[in-house]
A and B are shown apart, each in its own frame.
Chain A
Amino acid sequence: MEDFLYFFSFQDASIGFVVLGITLLGIGSAFVGTFSFLDNKALLGDAISHAILPGICLGFMLAGEKNPYFIVGGAIASGGLATYLSSWLKENTKLTEDTIIAVILSVFFGIGIVFLTVIQKSGNPEMAGLNQFIFGNAIGIVERDLWIYGILSLGIISVLIGLFKEFQLLVFNPEFGKAIGLPMLSIRMAFNTLMILAVVIGIQAIGVVLMAALLITPGAAARFWTDRLKTLLILAALFASISGIFGTFVSYTLPQMPTGPWVVVILSLIALLSFLLAPKRGMLSRFYHRKKYIDKTQQDHVLKSIYKAEELGKSGLGLNDLLQIYPHHKKGILKSIKNLEKTGYLFINHNIIKLTKPGKMKAKRIVRLHRLWELYLNEYLNIAPDHVHESAEKLEHLLTPELEALLENRLNFPKLDPHQETIPRDHDDI
């Protein structure tokens, strides 16, 4: 707890710096990543983060030390080459996109490893710092680098905000952008440069392998909460900052713990919670809506069956007879009967189920929709009467009152369906 207060009060200026740095870097990556996620190119970031390794090593070899300008320059060169090659290969070979990404990723990384071992064997004392690019270490970033990377992150964020409209078009409708005279190719190149920059900065905190999470996961999680791009970006940035700060906190309190993996674990937790709990798109919400629909169809089936029995002149339907109509849904049917009884649509008398007045109205409507739809398919789409039932079984639960009125009008308030059964109206008797 003491650690917690000390950390989050930012009394220690260096903690403040690291937190600010990792927040900016996280937001930058989340912004870039969200755009490429929406562009269905989520894994390109993973390829780039592996592909900049040879560039970093070359920059190191040329400068002879860990000079950030040389390293960023080298990374942009090899990241750019990898990005270009991946789109060139896509156009010029029959390989699928994921194979191309995997080839680029592993070949560039392999070349990077060759360079790395060459540097290792040259005995340069600054070598130790290079491993930071592979495994990442947010706490270990020195203050001078932090300034450079913080400013670069700010730059990425401001360019993305400044060119928001252009990048939005790039992702959603590049054809339209071209048509209204925007230089889409330059915009794509600008975007790729931002992506490479974000990766170069990001991997020093989080490492080559985990960089993909910083790009993909915030956007993927935020996508479950909203359909609006601006909200999406804000949420992605929020998720990235929260996990960045907590990841740094963990590796501050437990010094043997690396920052990057904790950032990723927290980010993934946020994502999994979003997948489960988000309204509308979340799994629980979809599950609930699906269950509600199934309940409704089963209740409709119960009402319809009793109505049909009454139509044949019986005074109701025996429970066992009803269960025999739907032998595979016994549990659901029993539950539906209980619910319908509770809501006053039916009542049970000596094991015979009967419709109440409102129940009769409701059942009539279902049967009416079913038979209207059968007639419509038969008359207007020329489908044989013995082929229309299946479709009507589904549509009877879905047709809205507006569509019902349209059907009635179009069919001129018919009396009989294609099977010569009466289409019941509200004022009719059974």
Chain B
Amino acid sequence: MQDALDENQKVGMTAGQRSRETETTRSTGLPLGYAPVPGTFDEMVDASGKVRAHWQALAEALQARPPLENQERFARAERYLRDAGIFHRDYGESGGPQRLWPLSPFPVLLPQGEWQGIAEGLSERADLLERVIADLYGENRLVAEGLLPPMAVAGNPEFLRPLVGIRPASGHFLHFLAFDVARGEDGRFRVLADRTQAPSGAGFTLENRVATTRAFSGLFDRSAVHRLAPFFARFRDTLQSNQHGQDERVGVLTPGRANATYFEHAYLARYLGFTLLEGEDLVVIDGELMVRTISGPKPVSVLWRRLASAAADPLELEEGSLSGTPGLLEAVRAGSVTMINALGSGILETGIISAHLPAIAERLNGKPLSLAAFPVLFGEMEADEDDCTMALGPAFATLPPFERNSGFKPTERRTVRDKPRAVLRAAPGLSLGPALQSGRLVPRPMILRFYAARTAEGWTIMPGGFARLGAGEQPGIFAFHEGGQSADLSIVSSETVPDVSLIAASGTKAGHRQGGNLPSRAADNLFWLGRYIERAEGALRILRAFHARLAENGDPDLPLLSMLTRYMATLEVDTAEPVPRMLLANIDSAVYSAGNIRDRFSPDGWMALTDLQKTAHRFAEKVSAGDDAAHAMTILLRKLAGFAGLVHENMYRFMGWRFLTIGRHLERGLHMTTLLAHLAQPDAPDGADDLLLDIGDNVMTHRRHYSVTTSTSSTVELMGLDPYNPRSVLFQLTEIVRSVSQLPDSAEDRLQLHRDIRALEQRLATAPASEVDADSFRQLEKDLEAFSDALALAYLT
């Protein structure tokens, strides 16, 4: 086995060297220096060296343009990905660094006729898979008739016993599938793997399409390319029709931000108008699955699950799963929720089941599947003479060879008769397709991922998909962090296809349903995003004032400055650091909170926020105290205002907005209150009043309203009690009252909360300026903290 592996690597190396020579020495007459590998099926170029018919328009358009323009076009695609913030983490690398999505902006094309054949084959296969899983969790006739060995089921870690005997609420186990399909050395497409658990990539498929379209806009006629939107529209409509009643909803269940494809979960939820949910958002009440929202529990009847089955319920499935919902199985048993796909559907991905599918198909359908799969061999099965290279791996592994950590290694074996817990899976030679690398097209082994969605009329196959291109000429490595790339897969029709976008396809209701059904966790993240952003702004303003004065005096021990240092120390901000660590921590926390609710953010808002974060961290490495720091704070304040402005201009004014707003005003109110409690004292050092006005951006206003010299009382009035000053404490209270009064308020603790904040506002609004002093602000500080706790208890937990 080890020998075979080494041999393979040697072959790979020779082929790689050969291709490098080719690239540098020979001009091929093909676009961007493309040179097919002789003797291997090439997707773009036929055996005689001519560009295949369905690629011709694209190839000719490229060749007609100056090389510089083409490079400029490809750069557009990458810019789009960056601007849209499209990242991923590698599989098995939860919590690892995010990487920019590796797109080869040159699309892979497939003629409609060929796709049609694949699509029909996949529909047939999807139907078979449905029958198999219904049997595995039902009657088990396949085992009784000897079509599956009992071990394939009873020894299968993906067989989830608590689900046995439960008929899915929708009547079907499978609703959304992916298939990895590849063209072997013989030129025939065959299925490499079934992805039935929670297939990923559909969202990236959309983004690949958008990015690729950017690169090729106006370059060639795309009217013959099948659109992706109708597929998603039909899937969405089907999910919505699975709902039991009017007010019920569809959710996308994600394991959370540490997951490899969290970006995609958020993206799809936003694109389809579904709520992005995590396990802790959900609660089961009397057999019904509910989202914990700010208006109390609201039913969910369809859950598109991107979480592995076993993790879905820590009570009855995997003990100790932190991403699941205790009691979810009770809801499934009660038939109150449709899972997309049914829990336990991962069993269809295991090699030991795949190995038996051909025989099952022949028995159930009376004929072989029209689209064959690459062989998977178990037990007594034996490879045919002409079968391709095989790989040996565990019988219950869910990933096929070529996938990272799949556990498969190339082998000379033709059977696993002597290894009861192993399977052989094909690791075939693959056709090569064009991948764009450093401005040149190079041939790379290709795997296509197709998607199937269940509709009322049966399966519909996405007319397009997701191509993965290997890291080298030999198939083996497709992992993105090891040099693998993705590309848009476009299906080219011989005629113009109708233009449909998802937004036009059906209703505009999506935005209006959000509102009161805002999950408490999302509200909590919005609230804290508001607080952290404002906390950062508060610190920035003080630090700017501090460093501006330091630049003038050069003496950090000046009474006013040492007082600021002491004040900042209470906020754990160290003024000795030009860009204090606590400031960075606040910005990081804001990004973290925003990252938990990516589905609620426009790409622009997200970009502005991460830009602020990057800049702040960069400054932290090089900025020095005094003038330099003051200038840096000004830049950061401007970037922060940019983010706030984007949110203010673009965010839909509903429940989510209110929590963000309450968070911001609460933090600003607290900040100003604390500052006044410290500085508005008779024994405050010289310049304290001016400093306060400076921090509050109120120097000009003060000059207009009061005499030129400042006094403590005029400062307190302007910064504390002025109802028109957007930085005064009273202004914050008024804004909080306005937002709170629009929150749902059925429960008594909530009504009390509303009364309390109104009372606080009234107290400050009617207090005579002469009676307001540092003590009043100290009391107010406590009251605001208490309000924050009460708000969290009433709405956010």
A and B are interacting partners: no
